[in-house]
Amino acid sequence: MERWKGMLYLFGAFTLAGSSVITGSLLNGKLGAFTITAISLLLALMILIPMCFRELVRSFGRRARVNWPQLLLQSVFGMFLFRMFMLFGLSHTSAAEAGIITGATPALTVLLARLVLKEPVNRFSLTGIASTVSGIILIQGLFPQGNSFTLQHLIGNMLVLFAAASESVFNILSRRSSLRSGGPSEQPVDPAVQTTLVSAMAFLLCLVPAGFENPLRSLAGIGWEEWLALVWYGPFVTALAFVLWYAGIHRCDASTAAAFSGMMPFTALVLSVVLLRQQAGVEQWAGGLLVAAGMVLIGVNQTRTGGKRVKAVTAD
């Protein structure tokens, strides 16, 4: 039951995370990347701090041990670097294409889970990884039909790929932290508290560079649509999505999270076509199908291994 609850949490977390591509595209060019991140995090903290103030105070006591270095790394990779790479990448590529490229996250997470957490990788996972990599290569335009694919476009796609890699590192860091916490004499940190602390650290990281982007002048010049996008980026894409993420990763392994991270490209692609009216070409759709196939194969592998674990526990 807990594992199913964890998968439901992960589904919601990555569905919301996929909308960050569209939000970033709407704000890009109107506000600086660091300003977007800082304001969205500030809005998220305005919701999070009152919501979990009591638990936040308790976490500084003896009931739960806060691993500050781990939380700092999670804030750097999961919020700061992910958003910086994504926002700068969206300056050179489309939201639809960026959304598909985030489909590299499942394969990268599975590889890191094997290397760092020693989670098993079988032929289903390997085939899923190969399918994802093939899709990314196709999307990158390394086999182009024309000459429309520019160097700037390639740079944009590579930056989005770095964002996917940052997300994968964050996934592994979160799972490793979850495995090391929650001992018999220690109470795990509440998901909302983790989200608050990580958001606060990322906010502080953005403050200085945001100051060089003339944030006050930029914010004064945006309309209600941009403010609405910032509100969505903060309380929903940051606060709610990360609370769901931490609740899910406490109940599932990193490879299961990898399978559900495929919701990011799916959500981003659908929203970019529906809301932004962007067109995806044959190469993008073909690459997207390969990425989706990789996600399904990794998900099938999790279903199989999950069943084996249940049998093993029953046999014991």
pLDDT score for 207: 93
Q: What is the mean pLDDT of the chain?
A: 81
Q: In Å, what is the CA distance from 250 to each residue of 3, 230, 281? A: 9, 29, 39
Q: Is the pLDDT of residue 164 over 70?
A: yes
Q: Count up the domains in the chain and report the number.
A: 1
Phi-psi region of 141 (alpha: psi -120 to 50; beta: other; left: phi over 0): left
Q: Are 72 and 231 within 8 A, CB to CB?
A: no
Q: Is the pLDDT of residue 96 over 50?
A: yes
Expressed as residue numbers, the domain containing 167 is 2-315
Q: Is the pLDDT of residue 222 over 50?
A: yes
pLDDT score for 148: 56
How many CB atoms lie under 10 A from the CB of residue 89?
26
Count CA atoms within 13 Å of residue 153 on its CB side. 12
Q: Are 243 and 195 within 8 A, CB to CB?
A: yes
> How far apart are the C-alpha atoms of 106 and 129, rounded to whole Å?
8
**pLDDT for 253-275, tens place per residue?**
777 787 777 778 778 877 877 88
**pLDDT for 179-193, tens place per residue?**
766 554 456 678 888
More confident call, 167 vs 288:
167
Q: Is the pLDDT of residue 145 over 80?
A: no
